[in-house]
C-alpha cells in the first residue's frame, strides 16, 4: 500500500472515530439533561399559561390563590413556599357528546365565561357550546389566613329533554413547590399530593369532596394520569401511593338531568 493511500485510509478512520465520539457525547448529554429539559418545558408552559390567562381575582393570604376568568386556579402558593398548582380545571360529560373541559392552558366545548366577584367570593358562569348545559362555579376563600379554598359547581340542563350520564370532574396537576414528581394517593373522598423532607419539599395539597345535592350522587376521588381531561379515567393509585407526575381529581356521576333540572357539588383544596 502506498504511503498516500495509507494516510488517506487513516484520515477516514479518524473522521469516523471522531463522529462516533461526538454522537456518544450527544447521547450522554441528552440523558443527563432529560430532567432539566422537562423542567424547562414546564417553565415555558407556565409562561405561556400566564400570558394566555386573564386573571379574574387574586385571593391574598396563605395560600395566595389566583383564578382566571374561566374559574381555573392558576396560582396556589403557601407562605414561604413555591407555587403548588401547575394546572387546574374541570371536565363535563354526557352521553352523545365529547368531553368538554377547561384548564389553565385552554378549553374545549365551553363558551365564553363571565367572572364576577364580591368580597372573597367569585361567580363564574359558562354555557356549553351546544347550548345544552350551564356550569356555574362559586369560588371562595373564607379568610386571608384560612388554608382552604372552596369551589361549588352547579350543572343545569338548559333543554326540555333529559340529558343522560352526566359526569362532572374537578381536576388538578399539583406540583409541590413546582417540582414535577411527588407522591400521590387517594381515599374515597379525597386525593393528596405531597413532597418529603428528604426531597426538601415537605408540603402537601389535598383536593376533597365536601357536599353533593342530591346526596345520592356517586362520587370518587382518584389519582389519574397527567393532564387527563377524559370523562372517567382509571385510578392510578388503586394499589397504594404512587410517585411521579400525576393528576388529582374528584369525579361526580350526576346521572340524568331532567328538563331545566340542576345538581350541585362542592370541593375544597387544602394545604398543610
For residue 81, the model assigns a pLDDT of 85
For residue 47, the model assigns a pLDDT of 55
For residue 36, the model assigns a pLDDT of 39
Query: In the structure grid, which three cell numbers stand for residue 61, read together?
Result: 393570604
E strands of 60-196, at which residues?
64-68, 73-77, 85-94, 97-103, 106-108, 114-118, 121-127, 133-140, 148-157, 163-174, 182-186, 190-194
For residue 175, the model assigns a pLDDT of 96
For residue 202, the model assigns a pLDDT of 94
For residue 142, the model assigns a pLDDT of 87
For residue 265, the model assigns a pLDDT of 98
What's the average pLDDT block by block, 10 residues per block, for the chain (272 residues)? 40 41 36 40 52 82 93 91 95 97 95 96 98 98 86 98 98 96 97 95 96 97 97 98 98 98 98 86
For residue 80, the model assigns a pLDDT of 80
Long-range contacts of 244-247 (CB under 8 A, 24+ apart): 244/181, 244/184, 245/173, 245/180, 245/181, 246/173, 246/184, 246/193, 247/87, 247/171, 247/172, 247/173, 247/174, 247/223
Enter the pTM of the model: 0.82
Amino acid at each position: 500500500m502506498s504511503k498516500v493511500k495509507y494516510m488517506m485510509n487513516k484520515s477516514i478512520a479518524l473522521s469516523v472515530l471522531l463522529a462516533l465520539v461526538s454522537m456518544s457525547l450527544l447521547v450522554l448529554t441528552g440523558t443527563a439533561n432529560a430532567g432539566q429539559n422537562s423542567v424547562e418545558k414546564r417553565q415555558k408552559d407556565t409562561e405561556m399559561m400566564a400570558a394566555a390567562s386573564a386573571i379574574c381575582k387574586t385571593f391574598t393570604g396563605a395560600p395566595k390563590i389566583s383564578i382566571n376568568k374561566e374559574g381555573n386556579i392558576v396560582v396556589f402558593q403557601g407562605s414561604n413556599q413555591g407555587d403548588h398548582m401547575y394546572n387546574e380545571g374541570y371536565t363535563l360529560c354526557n352521553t352523545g357528546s365529547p368531553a368538554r373541559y377547561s384548564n389553565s392552558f385552554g378549553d374545549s366545548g365551553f363558551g365564553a365565561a363571565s367572572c364576577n366577584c364580591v368580597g372573597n367570593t367569585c361567580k363564574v358562569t359558562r354555557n356549553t357550546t351546544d347550548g345544552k348545559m350551564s356550569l356555574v362555579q362559586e369560588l371562595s376563600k373564607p379568610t386571608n389566613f384560612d388554608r382552604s379554598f372552596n369551589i361549588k359547581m352547579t350543572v343545569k340542563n338548559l333543554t326540555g329533554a333529559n340529558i343522560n350520564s352526566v359526569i362532572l370532574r374537578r381536576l388538578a396537576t399539583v406540583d409541590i413547590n413546582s417540582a414535577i414528581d411527588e407522591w400521590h394517593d387517594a381515599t374515597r373522598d379525597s386525593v393528596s399530593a405531597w413532597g418529603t423532607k428528604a426531597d426538601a419539599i415537605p408540603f402537601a395539597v389535598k383536593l376533597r369532596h365536601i357536599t353533593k345535592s342530591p346526596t345520592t350522587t356517586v362520587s370518587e376521588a382518584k389519582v389519574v394520569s397527567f393532564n387527563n381531561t377524559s370523562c372517567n379515567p382509571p385510578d392510578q393509585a388503586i394499589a397504594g401511593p404512587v410517585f411521579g407526575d400525576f393528576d388529582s381529581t374528584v369525579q361526580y356521576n350526576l346521572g340524568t338531568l331532567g328538563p331545566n333540572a340542576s345538581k350541585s357539588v362542592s370541593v375544597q383544596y387544602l394545604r398543610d
